[in-house]
Amino acid sequence: MFNDQVILITGGTGSFGKEFIKTVFQYYKPRKLIVLSRDEQKQLEMRQLFPEDKYPSIRYFIGDVRDRDRLNRAFHGVDFVIHAAALKQVPACEYNPFEAVQTNIMGAKNVIDAAIDNKVKRVMAISTDKAVNPTNLYGATKLVTEKLFIQGNYYAAGQTVLSCVRYGNVVGSRGSVIPLFLEQRQTGVITVTDPRMTRFWITLKQVAEFVIHCLTQMQGGEVFVPKIPSMRLTDLAEAIAPGCEIVFNGIRPGEKIHEMLLSDDEIHRTLEFDDFFIVKPEFDFWREKHWENGRRLPLEFRYTSDTNTQWLLIEELKQMIPELESV
């Protein structure tokens, strides 16, 4: 469905954006793929990664989701928007709360308004497990983002459809703990916040393919949640730096011991499929007919990183991290 279409991704120079663009061109031939971001240096680096002679349909827009006028210009003639721009670092958001609100909440509102005004067909927002029962500002802003995108379907009146994808920690993304562990292993001491800590784990390629799949299936108002494995942070440390001493230095502000991908309050309106869940909106614009093969979950079901039935072992973690091929 993306052949000869115009796709735009906000925050497109990030880890997800690069993998998404690579995956799109692996399967489709879009008429244009627009990368919108505010960092000219990262756009320059991306031009080198995707040279114009091989990717003539890629366009680069300098812009910020805080700037509605710029979004309105960028979204003109666009068919699909993936909204990935955000402030994502938990400590940075805690220390700069007003900036987090301006980018993650007001920026999301601007994306929705510009998409509706320009009659964009489909818009997908990238969310996080930290939006579920949030304990930090980053998660709280992403919860608001989800609410805005779901409710945005009322304003769009079916002309533009909006949904969200929510997933856990991404292997190899910026801000991942992996680069820190790789650096620390040279010293023989690895710092871990808490011995109990668990996280959901997914690769960039899996994320990109899941987002594309959801874009093709979305009806508007759903929150898509992939079925992904969990890992223990101590196992990740052992995979990256076997034999090194592990020092526990305490939980950071706003951090959780375990993450959730479905809240207890969402279970009654969640449908299960073989590889993912969808959380249904609680509004009358949504119709379940498209998802009639979905299975309802028992009310006692919990989808948290510590109660997950899928777990990554140390050897599996090693195979997921390219830097460990020689370890």
Write out the catalytic residue numbers. 130
Q: Name every residue whose Cβ is closer than 8 Å to that of residue 253 and which is 6 or more positions away in sequence.
A: 90, 91, 94, 136
| Rounded distance between C-alpha atoms, residue 249 and residue 272, angstroms | 38
Q: Mark residue 254 as left, alpha or beta (left: phi above 0; alpha: psi -120 to 50; beta: remaining).
A: left
Residue type, 260: M
| Token pair 């489709």: residue | 28
| Rounded distance between C-alpha atoms, residue 176 and residue 167, angstroms | 14
- Torsions phi, psi of 183, nearest 5? -70, -40
| Rounded distance between C-alpha atoms, residue 281 and residue 150, angstroms | 7
Report how far apart the first and last C-alpha atoms of the chain are (Å, whole number): 42
Cβ atoms of 5 and 79 within 8 Å: the answer is yes
- Rounded to the nearest 10°, the torsion over CA 55, 57, 58, 62 is 150
Residue 279's SS3 state is strand
| Rounded distance between C-alpha atoms, residue 318 and residue 238, angstroms | 9
Q: Name every residue whose Cβ is closer than 8 Å to that of residue 241 and which is 6 or more positions away in sequence.
A: 181, 184, 185, 190
List the structure tokens of 118: 């320009």
Nearest to 235 by CA among 280, 198, 287, 188: 198
